[in-house]
Structure 1
Amino acid sequence: KKSILTVPTGFVLFLKAASMLAAEIEDKKHEKERVVNECFPPLKLSGLAVQELQDLCKELHRKIDVVDEARYEVEVKVARNNQEIQTLNGKIVDLKGVKRPSLKRVKKTTDDMLGAFTDTTKHMKADFKVNLKTVKKEEDKVKLEEVTDWRKNVEAMSGMEGRKKLFNAGQ
């Protein structure tokens, strides 16, 4: 009897992708080695005298200095460009200003306004007219009282009806 193994299609694709990834990594590794060998040939140090080795080191140091200067100049340019980009972005934001949404006029009743501040479970009717002062029409009419001479009634009001006469008589 032959046993047939059924392998899911997704698993086969996974194995194929893994093998392709491994091959790609190997290709990148070989490409990197090739470029390094082209750009930087191996140094021939055998058979060189001390003076020639020192000259070679000085030449390599000069090349390193040139590369460092170029790297520094590029860094300065990048920093300057980044700063300029930031200032221009700031100017753009300033020119645009703050976006304000267009507001719609909404008419609300007193009940709607109170509903926003109070609990919605308690429906409270508001009548702001209750707190207003009421004016009666009768109060508008000035009550006319009899105008009398206040000096005539001083003794009666003071409660000393006969005592004032006794005081005046004693002097």
Structure 2
Amino acid sequence: MTSKPPFDISDHLVPLRRRARALTRNGPDSEDLVQETILQAYEKADTRSEDGNLRGWLMTILRHRFIDGRRRAQASARREAALAEMTPKLSEGSQDLHMRVTEVRAAFFTLPPEQRAALYLVAIEGRSCAEAAALLNIPMGTLTSRLGRARDRLRALETDDASQVIPMKRKG
């Protein structure tokens, strides 16, 4: 027995895709935005007024998802820029130290963005796990697992044992 969806969005897909494309100016990103919008709409279906404008409601969700994504990207860019500024510029000192700092920095930037953000907030900014989880808007368990995976990857690079490096999952 299948349950009936709370509303039918089929008539609104073309306008949603058009608006998403106008906002993102990128085909794959616009499709992702539409999918996120539809998912959130079905998750929040019980909050929608039955006699309200479905198209307007969907467009509002789409716009909010777009804005949230832009804010996340900007915050991530600011964190990465701050990290780059904090990286010591070694003009004097041993070549070995300079090479090591360069290797660690490069290894940090090979981490997936989610792991990099978690590690940056906790290890570099010195925030508590609770604060970092709240800033990233994720559960505490997700934050600690991201921290663990990031540390494992960096630790494996530290021992130069590439076989221990956890492979990154690619989005398909």
Greater radius of gyration (CA): 1
**Shorter-chain-normalised TM-score: which range?**
under 0.3
Higher helix share: 2
Q: TM-score, normalised by structure 1?
A: 0.25
Looking at both structures, which has the greater relative contact order when contacts are Cα pairs under 8 Å and sequence separation is at least 6?
A: 2
